[in-house]
Amino acid sequence: MHRPMETGFAQTLLRRPSFEAAVVEAMGATAAFARHTHDEFVISANVGGAERIWLDGRSLEAGPGDTTVYEPGAMQASQGASVAGSRWGFVSLYAEPGFVARTLGLPQAPPPGEPVLRDRGLFGQFMRLRRIIALRDGTDDGLAEETVVAILAATVGAGGCRRPVPRGDALVRRVATLLTDRLGDHPSLTQIAAEVGISREHLVRRFSAAYGMPPMRWALQRRVARARTLLRAGTPPADVAAALGFTDQAHLTRVFRDAMGTTPGRYRAGN
């Protein structure tokens, strides 16, 4: 697991029951997020700098003013860079699939279209969201939700259907389900391989081909995603660490900072 480079990230959060938004700024000249995944749609606009992206096996680039759109479960990683003296910074929207479906008036949220967009009108909506986030307490909920709806309509709602990424055979999907159902138990690679009846080496090869990383590392990212849900609900970091099988709170903090660029305590507090 790679750590964010230099001094990491600073972020300001806005939380609502069905979505979360953040203004994030790299504290150093360059910064990075290692491969990770989210349970929500993640839609972000680059305010400054640029990024190189790894998304489900694809290599992409996004510059200043570009918007990236990732569907739930997509495996992603990014490396930021300064452009014309401007450090990498972005505004992100995390929207639960159910909220997206209701917003678009559909039985379920469709997969988004192209993952990197250049649209001035859409970027303007993100700048509006950025100003709303800066208000923090006292924000007009109607204005916040109106802006989020506009962003979802312009991205997920207008995206059509992107060809889904293959997720391997039934055995690999079974392993993913087992790992997700047992996040707190933290089973070993040997246990999982024995349970599905193949060698550890064969399991690692097949799972990595389908998901972009080995099964134990993938499970760790799922634990981070579950930790975010618990922290948003107000669960203390120490209790989150115990519930999800981390060695201790310090272990959770290291892993969470790698994936999210902030500590569990700050994330829970909305900082």
pLDDT digits (tens, 9 = 90+) for 241-262: 999 989 899 999 988 887 777 8
The per-residue pLDDT for range 121-136, each reduced to its tens digit, is 999 999 999 988 887 5
Q: Which of 129, 154, 179 is the last residue of a domain?
A: 154
174 and 132 in a common domain: no
Segment 41-86, tens digit of pLDDT: 999 999 999 999 999 888 999 999 999 999 998 888 999 988 887 8
Contacts of 38 (CB under 8 A, 6+ apart): 70, 72, 73, 74, 76, 94, 225
Q: 210 lies in a domain?
A: yes
Structural domain includes residue 264: yes
Co-location of 131 and 242 in the same domain: no
* 208 and 260 fall within a common domain: yes
b/e code 84-111 from CB counts within 10 Å (16+ = b): eeebbbbbbbbbbbebbeebbeeeebbb
Containing domain of residue 96, as a range? 9-154
Q: What is the pLDDT of residue 126?
A: 95
